[in-house]
Amino acid sequence: MPRSQDGAVPARARSPRPSSTADTILRCATERFRRHGYTPTSVRAIANDAGVDPALVIRHFGSKEELFLRTVPNRGFWNDVLAGPLATLGTRLVEFLLSHASDEMLGMHTALVRASDSAAVRSKLNEVVEQSFIDQLKDRLPGPDPVLRARLIAAQIGGLLQALSISDETLRDYDHSCVIAVYGRAIQSTATGI
């Protein structure tokens, strides 16, 4: 090995930190799952996108399924909109969803739905909905059956998200203020009976 003028052996170039490698893999996996879905995406394709050996993907994440589960958005997405005034919950939820309905978000939703035949993915999806939406909402709803109503509101939001994800062009092109008013009232009725 060549030595410097002072006789020291130069330090070898280091490979990227493991956390940055894992971050790169996660970022590439998120993009690939969003664009292509769960089933057609392979560990090899993710590794190729990340510029790493497929064995590193498995080393960092265990399996394709575990990696996919790490790409699922967790808590926090709905926090602000659910914390606002209950009297305007319906319109705020629809407005929030429409304003965040990017191709990336809709692509990830589609990937989640397609992958929900996996028990682990289905369980994670249910956990995320429970913790990030239903648990936050149920204690705020007045009247009878708040847990049922929180679940029905989650289903209403899921229905709109599904319609947007499957590219219902008529719905996507509709004036957002009209969709917010009509669908917001339906959700508000479930929330408060108004």
pLDDT at 194: 65
DSSP labels for 77-136? Answer: TTHHHHHS-GGGHHHHHHHHHHHH--HHHHHHHHHHHHHTTSHHHHHHHHHHHIIIIIHH
- Which phi and psi (to 5°) does residue 168 adopt? -70, 90
Report the pLDDT averaged over residues 142-152.
95
pLDDT at 18: 53
Note the pTM of the prediction, 2 decimals.
Answer: 0.74
Mean predicted lDDT score pLDDT of the chain: 85
Predicted confidence band of residue 184 (pLDDT cuts 50, 70, 90): very high
174: its two tokens: 């509709």
Query: What structural domains does the chain harbor?
Result: 18-71 (1.10.10.60), 79-192 (1.10.357)
> Which tens digit of pLDDT belongs to each residue from 128-146?
889 889 999 999 999 999 9
> Which tens digit of pLDDT belongs to each residue from 40-79?
999 999 999 999 999 999 999 999 988 988 887 766 778 8
Helix (DSSP H) and strand (DSSP E) numbers for the chain: 12, 0
87: its two tokens: 């009297």
Distance CA 179, CA 186 (A): 11
DSSP labels for 1-60? Answer: ----TTSPPPPPPPPPPHHHHHHHHHHHHHHHHHHH-STT--HHHHHHHHTS-HHHHHHH
> Computed from CA positions of residues 61, 124, 140, 80, in that sequence, does the dihedral angle turn out positive or negative?
positive
> Which tens digit of pLDDT belongs to each residue from 23-46?
999 999 999 988 888 889 999 999
DSSP state of 86: G
> Which tens digit of pLDDT belongs to each residue from 2-29?
554 555 545 444 444 556 999 999 999 9
